[in-house]
Each structure stands twice: as C-alpha cells, then as structure tokens.
Amino acid sequence: MSEEPLLTVEGLTTEFTTDNGVLTAVDGIDFEIERGETLCLVGESGSGKTVASESITRIVPTPPGEVTGSVTFDGQEIISMSESELKEIRGGRIAHVFQNPQDALNHCYTVGWQIVEAIQTHEPNTSKQEARERAVGLLNDVGVANAAARLDDYPHEFSGGQKQRVMIAMALVTNPDLLIADEPTTALDVTVQAQILNLLEELQEEYNMSILFVTHDLGVVAGIADQVVVMYAGKVMERGGVHEIFDEPSHPYTRALLECLPGKSRSAEGIPGSLPSPISPPDGCRFAPRCDYAVEECRAGDQPPEEPLSESHAVSCVHYQQGYDPAVIREEVVQEDGATTGGVSSD
C-alpha cells in the first residue's frame, strides 16, 4: 500500500463569473484523504463545501466556473487533466452520491435497467445477464430486501431511504477508491439517516474506500468522520481528527456550530448573522462580522494563517497566534458548557 494520501487538495479555488462580479466559492483550501479514511467537509449552507467537493472531479460547470489549484488523486493531477482522461476517473475510481436520489434516478426506467446500464457503460463486455446478477448483488450489499424482485421496480416504488441505497449501489458499480457523498442523508428522517450512515461505514470496509462526506450537520460528522475540515465562506477555519474537533473545538465558528446541536445553547436560534458575500468578502477573518471574540486585527489583511495545535489539528484564528491568548475563547465555552462540548463516541 502506498503511503501517499489517496487525495491531496492544495490551494483549490473555484470562481464563478457572474453579472455582479467574480464569485469565489472556494478560496485556496487544502486537505488530504488517506486510503480507507473518512474526511468530513462541514459548514453552513453557502460555506463552499459542496462546490469544493464538485471541483475535485471538475463537475462544476466551466464556464461560468473556473477551478484552479491542485488535486492529486493516487499520484495523478486532476485539475490539468484532459476531459477524456478525467472521464476514466470520474464515475469510476471516484464516485459521487448526491443529496436527492429522486433527482439522480430516471423515473422512466426501472432501477435494474439503470444499474445494468451503469455496469455496462463501465464494463462494455459484461453481458446483460451478468450485469443483472451483479445488480442484484449490489442491491443486496446496500441492504435492499428482495433485491432480485425489486430490480424491475421503478424508482417511485422505492422509499426515500431505499432510493438513496440504490444511488449508493450505482456508485459502487465501479468499486471506487473514493466516494464523494454530498449531504446523502439530509433528505431522510433520522432513523433512515442512521441506517445509511451505518451502511456507508460497512461498505467502506467491504470495498476498502475512502469517503469525502459533505454535510452541514456536526451530529452526522460525529458518527462517521475520521478527519474533519470546517469551512466558512470558502476558507478553512479549523481542521483536525474527529476527537480533536469535538473534544477541543478551537475556532469560534466550530464552537458556534457545536453550540447549535440539539440541546446546546444555540440550538434554537442558530448562529446570529449570515455568511458574507462571496463576491466581496470582508477583509481579515471571514467570520469576523459574526464572531463574539473579534478584535481589531481580525478585520485587516487576509484570513489568519492556520496555526498548528497538534500534528493533525490546526485553526485559523488570531487568538492562536503568538502574542495572543486562546484562553479567551476556550474558557468561555467551558463556563457555558461544562467540561466538554463533545458529542463523539470513543469507538
């Protein structure tokens, strides 16, 4: 096994040309995903996490979009790859699962027809009979009961959770190395959401996949992540192992997101204010207009550089720079919340 990360993202920037100016949705972000690891990109709606995930395989529309920076997948640079080279990877070694399975499935064709077509597109020499047998196996793998019988049902005959299972089965057709799952459980009720998360964990082991999981929900992150990257207004605010993020949240934005979890201090009202315009973001820290700890220095220059707190944990906030005292942030949360803000199990 190679020791290089499966995916290395460096300086990823995605801009869209609009009538009102250049909209920078993702602004120079970096992260790595190891083989077999789950990395969660988390942030509020509009933080840039979905555009970042779609920029990896360049499925953002270009134009009006433009993706720059570097994305290295298993040693190959994706950003400069030709469209025909990228096709081999996109939908092959890297598969996507999206939020709304009803939008992704074609309601005019049976589920079996769609899975068989996906198999034969990827493996043209596979006979229809072989493809149907594989489709049954895939539906079994994702927990669709009576898989052989359900093959000839139409999407509308499946529940929301079952449709998402079908979409995951279609993503597994190519035995991907990396699954990019963008809010795959958001449209589902809590019980089904938990089932899908468990399923993804089981499949990750069975298929030896890495997962890039995109979500606004830190509760979901606690259940599935190994590593977490917290994004706000196109920038990385904090990154760390899941236990570091939940047990030692250090950026005011991460702490605010945790305070919005059910039963926490901001669960009813959320974080006051809204994200800045991606066309004209504020100087300095992007979170400054909403931050309870902002000082004058926060409102000048660029986003503060990420300060390492450990080998895997880093935070972009002036209070962690030399000459400042991060206790101003940490102490207040300890007073509000008790000893810990954590919500992640230790297993």
* Sites of contact with ligand SF4 (CB under 6 A): 251-252, 285, 287-288, 291, 293-294, 298, 304, 317-319
Residue number, 150 or 251, with CB nearest to ligand SF4: 251
Q: Supply the minimum distance, in Å, between the C-beta of residue 302 and ligand SF4.
A: 11
Q: Kindly tell me which of 118 and 285 has the beta carbon lying closer to ligand SF4.
A: 285
Residue 289 C-beta: closest distance to ligand SF4, Å: 8
C-beta closer to ligand SF4: residue 141 or 244:
244
Q: Considering the complex, what minimum distance in angstroms separates the CB of residue 213 from ligand SF4? A: 24
Task: Write the secondary structure of the chain as one string of H (helix), E (strand) and C (coil).
Answer: CCCCCCEEEEEEEEEEEECCEEEEEEEEEEEEECCCCEEEEECCCCCCHHHHHHHHCCCCCCCCEEEEEEEEECCEECCCCCHHHHHHHECCCEEEECCCHHHHCCCCCCHHHHHHHHHHHHCCCCCHHHHHHHHHHHHHHCCCCCHHHHCCCCHHHCCHHHHHHHHHHHHHCCCCCEEEEECCCCCCCHHHHHHHHHHHHHHHHHHCCEEEEEECCHHHHHHHCCEEEEEECCEEEEEEEHHHHHHCCCCHHHHHHHHCCCCCCCCCCCCCCCCCCCCCCCCCCCCHHHCCCCCHHHHCCCCCCCEECCCCCEECCHHHCCCCCCHHHHHHHHHHHCCCCCCCCCC
**Shortest Cβ distance from residue 214 to ligand SF4 (Å)?**
22
112 or 252: whose CB is closer to ligand SF4? 252
Shortest Cβ 324–ligand SF4 spacing (Å): 9
Closest CB to ligand SF4 among residues 216, 319: 319
